[in-house]
Amino acid sequence: MGTLEQPCYTLIQAPTDTEQPCEMTLKRDLENGDIPGKQAALKKVIQLILNGERLPGILMTVIRFVMPLEDHTIKKLLLVFWEIVPKTTPDGKLLQEMILVCDAYRKDLSHPNEFIRGSTLRFLCKLKEPELLEPLMPTIRSCLEHRHSYVRRNAVLAIFTIYKNFDFLIPDAPELISNFLEGEQDMSCKRNAFMMLIHADQERALTYLSTCIDQVNSFGDILQLVIVELIYKVCHANPGERARFIRCIYNLLNSSSPAVRYEAAGTLVTLSSAPTAIKAAANCYIELIVKESDNNVKLIVLDRLVALKDSPQQEKILQELAMDVLRILSTPDLEVRKKTLNLALELVTMRSVNEMVEVLKKEVGKTHNTVEHEDTGKYRQLLVRTLHTISMKFPDVAANVIPILMDFLSDNNELAATDVLVFVREAIQRFEGLRSQIIDRLLGSLATIRSVTVQCHALWILGEYASSSGEILGVVSAIRGSLGELPIVEDEMRKAAGEAGEDDGSGDKAGQQQQQQKVTADGTYASQSAFSTTTSSLKADDRPPLRKYLLEGNFYLGAVIANTLVKLAFRYISLEADVNKQNAFCAEVMLVISSIVHLGKSGLPQKAMTDDDYDRMMLCLQVVSERTPSLASVFTVQCRGALSHMLAAKSEEEEAQRRDRKASKVVEHVDDHISFSRLTKGSDLSSTDDMFDLSMSMAVSGGKKEGIDLSTSKLSKVTQLTGFSDPVYAEAYVHINQYDIVLDVLIVNQTNDTLQNCTLELATLGDLKLVEKPQPIVLAPHDFCNIKANVKVASTENGFIFGNIVYDVKGSTSDRNVVILNDIHVDIMDYIVPATCTDLEFRQMWLEFEWENKVTVNTQMTELKAYLDYLCKSTNMKCLTPEKALTGAGDYMAANLYARSIFGEDALANLSIEKPLDNPEAAVTGHIRIRAKSQGMAISLGDKINKVQKATIKSVGA
């Protein structure tokens, strides 16, 4: 092996741009230099030895001229020097000079300064030569009685390490430390001593714990943590001891240290499945989350709380604590709130649903009274969705939820208001008894809605579900009131003419008073009236809501109004027998639609009406005029049937996902042993919670393994960097762990020469950063060694790591030799995971993301669905389009895909593919549009899709 593999506990980064000093210079500085000079020389010696230099003549110089010095910095450097310096001859015998060093150790262990004593004791933990340690044992024992706790606790650590490595040097160590523990008062010393007894003599540790088990709450947190560790180990090794120590764990749940409470709760859950134990641990977790300020800690503890409900028995216990879980909502962090609401949703029952709804309604009220923040709107969305799910799960509470959610319709946050309408749409479809209440509340909120999108949703619901004559007339009246006086164009022209007359008449005097002189671009003066500049904006604000949106050019709203009025007309005709009233109602509907069409063609709006909106409104006019039964069926029956079919498909998909989650949880493994409680020791205690059972049974079961898939094994991550005929062979195992890439590079010297200063030089391309430069090594003939390099990743995009190996041949006078390495490609797929989002969120992100990459489909695959599945599998993206929408035969397919990176970046893709039906052997054609917030993400994902498409062409060609 290379010299890099010497036993050493300390690594020091040496500067590579400085000139390496020679041994004679270092000796001179160590002999004749002053204190700072000797410090600098000693540092250089340490760096050279770490780099593989032997420096055999330096040892005696250090012993003679440096070791007698009393400078504390020198003494600290000497501890590092004695650690790394070779202490044996090539045949393994201890160097004679080390006798002098051993005497220096003994003097430092008796030094009056407690820091020097403690540092020396810590250093002795690193020594691997028993010949050096044996003369020091009496002095080490005496340090247990030192007045300072720093010396005593390091003495315990030194005795523990020496006993673990060379027990013949101090065979009575457990008894010695046990006696020390009984008389010690310092908590850090007691902790180290107790930890040694746990590993060296558990019986003595248990005996000590039994004597002071009632005083555990008064111990320091570091000692309490070690006690928890001991109880955990003992109770797993001997389940009969659980009853003896379970009360101690219960007491530690009330410790003043959050770390102790967290560990005690985890140990309690592992040791006992009793309802009281689970409830106590869950309460402890909840208290920790509520009182802890660090959001990362909150998320970690919350994950443990979520993991508790995986067991059906524990889930029933946690359901009693559903209201306590909602206390976590006081945390301002959005991610914590999101996980909390998801957990509460899974724990809610008929007993707690009413109380939970009241708490969530209070949380909704709090979001209205706080200053608007970016997370406030998102939290409001989470609350709306939670109340939506609860209402669908427990229909009895829907009547209490709907009024509070209707207040969101006038909210500035369009996403929250849209979520409310999604809930209203599902509630009004499923709960017929609430329809009249929802229609009344929706009509009352229509005038306060501030968003065009929300207006469209609300009008659709009103048109679809207004069923009585009174409700129909109320909806039409509300629409007419929100449009203002009809026809719209003539009314706008009259208002414009009236404003002009007012400006010419009574406004002259005021206009003259408000005039200001302004300088134009060419340097001349111009007059401007404050009255004239403000009047038009004030008049625009006074317009009714729907008219204002139409004048801004939102004629999709006009198409929605026309659709709504047609549905209402058909429904009114079916309810009203009087033909005159039928004709009058239809005439009013046609007046409204024709007025909107006229406005779109007049040129008054800010944006022109699109052809699609015009065609839709003209179609509605024709439908109202003809009024055939087939068209009536389309507008009144089939629309609602499509909605109910969509909601049913959504419910089936959610139910299937829920079943899959439950099915994926393995309750009992096939090769698990069967425990008969009456035949085990301590029949009243459950031993099924032992986490070592599964690993032990798998180790002894000897079950057959099916063929190993090399594509998923570690061998697939090995990259060959050089050729087999190169003088230096190198290959790298690329291990990716979220933000870090660890390159474990194997370097083999294939020559008969000794390679000196063999250096692995690396560089990166992309958003990668090399953390540290690998150290030079010396390779003997046909020797090998492993070098590790760390690379930090900052964002989701493809990157490359490239470089070379540089080395010198011993005895050669030529230039340095270089071996060029193959590039290591960092795949974007290592950072992308499938994720899910709602259709509304997908559309919102699609509008916001500015980087788009369009990829043409180039494949030999002939099935549309097969190509989609292959793409999702190859790119780690999740298909958001429901499965039922993708089934069936057809000549085209459109689907939305979504994924999220570990850095929080979103990736969207829209797949549009087709193939001719008359040619089943034709290949799939089309394109994929990728959108992302960053350019690198969009380009890298496009490159990945092109790469996997080429793989399909090669496989078909083969």
pLDDT for residue 928: 92
Listed in sequence order, the residues at least 6 apart from 120 whose beta carbon sits closer than 8 Å to its beta carbon are: 79, 105, 108, 109, 111
Two tokens, residue 610? 């699109």
* Separation of alpha carbons 170 and 124, rounded Å: 14
Listed in sequence order, the residues at least 6 apart from 18 whose beta carbon sits closer than 8 Å to its beta carbon are: none
- Per mean pLDDT, which range of 261-265, 289-293, 490-494 is the poorest? 490-494
Mean pLDDT for 786-806 is 82
**Is the per-residue pLDDT at 527 higher than 70?**
no
In this prediction, residue 83 has a pLDDT band, given cuts at 50, 70 and 90, of confident
Listed in sequence order, the residues at least 6 apart from 368 whose beta carbon sits closer than 8 Å to its beta carbon are: 407
Two tokens, residue 885? 């929408």
The SS3 of residue 392 is: helix
* Residue among 512, 632, 639, 642 nearest 574 (CA): 632
Find the Cα–Cα–Cα–Cα dihedral 291, 293, 295, 296, rounded to 10°. -90
**Is the per-residue pLDDT at 523 higher than 50?**
no
pLDDT for residue 373: 62
Mean pLDDT for 318-336 is 87
**Is the per-residue pLDDT at 601 higher than 60?**
yes
In this prediction, residue 361 has a pLDDT band, given cuts at 50, 70 and 90, of confident
Mean pLDDT for 441-453 is 81
Cβ 140 vs Cβ 158: under 8 Å: yes
pLDDT for residue 703: 40
pLDDT for residue 2: 40
More confident residue, 542 or 363: 363
In one letter, which amino acid is 237? Answer: A
DSSP string, 638-698: IHHHHHHHHHHHHHHHHHHHHHHHHHHS-SS-TTPPPP-GGGSSSTTS--TT-THHHHHHH
Cβ 219 vs Cβ 228: under 8 Å: no
**Is the per-residue pLDDT at 496 higher than 90?**
no
Report the Cα 139 to chain-centroid distance in Å. 53
Phi, psi of 890 (to 5 degrees): -170, 165
**Is the per-residue pLDDT at 717 higher than 80?**
no
- The number of helix segments (H) and strand segments (E) in the chain equals 41, 18
More confident residue, 377 or 513: 377
pLDDT for residue 705: 41
The SS3 of residue 419 is: helix
Please provide the average confidence, as pLDDT, over all residues in the chain: 79
* Separation of alpha carbons 613 and 635, rounded Å: 18
Cβ 911 vs Cβ 931: under 8 Å: no
Two tokens, residue 955? 């496989």
pLDDT for residue 934: 83
Q: How far is CA 311 from CA 94, 178, 273, 658, 684, in A?
A: 59, 41, 10, 15, 20
pTM, entire model: 0.66
- The set of long-range contacts for 234-239, using a CB threshold of 8 Å and a minimum separation of 24, is 234/202, 234/206, 235/271, 236/270, 236/271, 236/690, 236/691, 236/692, 239/680, 239/681, 239/682, 239/685, 239/687, 239/690
SS (H, E, C) 309-368: CCCHHHHHHHHCCHHHHHHHHHCCCHHHHHHHHHHHHHHCCCCCHHHHHHHHHHHHHHHH
Burial of 310 (0-12, 13-18, 19+ CB in 10 A): exposed
The proportion of the chain whose per-residue pLDDT surpasses 90, expressed as a percent, equals 4
* Separation of alpha carbons 153 and 157, rounded Å: 6
The tokens 């959001």 sit on which residue?
Answer: 295
Listed in sequence order, the residues at least 6 apart from 235 whose beta carbon sits closer than 8 Å to its beta carbon are: 241, 242, 245, 271
pLDDT for residue 533: 40
Beta bridge partners of 785: 747
In this prediction, residue 513 has a pLDDT band, given cuts at 50, 70 and 90, of very low
Q: Which residues of 703-738 are buried (b: 16+ CB within 10 A; e: fewer)?
A: eeeeeeeeeeeeeeeebebbeeebbbbbbbbbebee
pLDDT digits (tens, 9 = 90+) for 7-47: 555 555 555 555 667 778 888 888 887 888 888 888 888 88
pLDDT for residue 930: 92
Cβ 326 vs Cβ 352: under 8 Å: no
* Separation of alpha carbons 571 and 472, rounded Å: 8
Listed in sequence order, the residues at least 6 apart from 608 whose beta carbon sits closer than 8 Å to its beta carbon are: 553, 600
Reported as half-sphere exposure (CB side, CA atoms, 13 A), residue 263 has a value of 19
Helices 579-602 and 611-626, packing angle to 10 deg: 160
Question: Which CATH architecture best describes the domain 715-826?
Answer: Sandwich (2.60)
Please state whether beta strands 799-809 and 824-826 pair in parallel, antiparallel, or not at all (unpaired).
Answer: antiparallel
pLDDT digits (tens, 9 = 90+) for 847-878: 888 889 999 988 888 888 888 988 888 888 88
Listed in sequence order, the residues at least 6 apart from 201 whose beta carbon sits closer than 8 Å to its beta carbon are: 174, 178
The SS3 of residue 616 is: helix
pLDDT for residue 75: 85
Two tokens, residue 620? 């509605």
What are the structural domain ranges in the chain? 18-50, 112-212, 219-272, 466-493+543-627, 715-826, 830-955
pLDDT digits (tens, 9 = 90+) for 554-572: 888 888 999 889 888 888 8
Helices 202-211 and 221-237, packing angle to 10 deg: 120
Query: Around Cβ 525, how many Cβ atoms within 10 Å?
Result: 8
**Is the per-residue pLDDT at 1 higher than 70?**
no
The SS3 of residue 935 is: helix
Reported as half-sphere exposure (CB side, CA atoms, 13 A), residue 300 has a value of 12
Q: How far is CA 931 from CA 795, 880, 944, 948, in A?
A: 16, 15, 14, 19
**Is the per-residue pLDDT at 500 higher than 70?**
no
* Residue among 74, 78, 76 nearest 38 (CA): 74
Q: Which CATH class is domain 830-955?
A: alpha beta
pLDDT for residue 708: 43
Two tokens, residue 685? 């205690």
- Per mean pLDDT, which range of 222-236, 392-406, 463-477, 659-673 is the poorest? 659-673
pLDDT for residue 52: 67
pLDDT for residue 427: 82
Mean pLDDT for 161-188 is 87
- Could you tell me where the DSSP H helices lie in 466-527? 469-483, 488-504, 507-513
The SS3 of residue 529 is: strand
Two tokens, residue 428? 């009004």
Q: Which residues of 339-352 are buried (b: 16+ CB within 10 A; e: fewer)?
A: bbbebbeebbeeeb
Cβ 562 vs Cβ 463: under 8 Å: no
Per the document, the length of the chain is 958
* Residue among 246, 151, 344, 26 nearest 689 (CA): 246
- Could you tell me where the DSSP H helices lie in 348-468? 353-369, 374-393, 398-406, 414-430, 435-445, 452-465
DSSP 3-state percent helix, strand, coil across the chain (nearest 5): 60, 10, 25
Mean pLDDT for 204-227 is 82
Mean pLDDT for 91-106 is 80
**Is the per-residue pLDDT at 929 higher than 90?**
yes
More confident residue, 325 or 501: 325
Q: How far is CA 431 from CA 151, 396, 445, in A?
A: 75, 10, 20
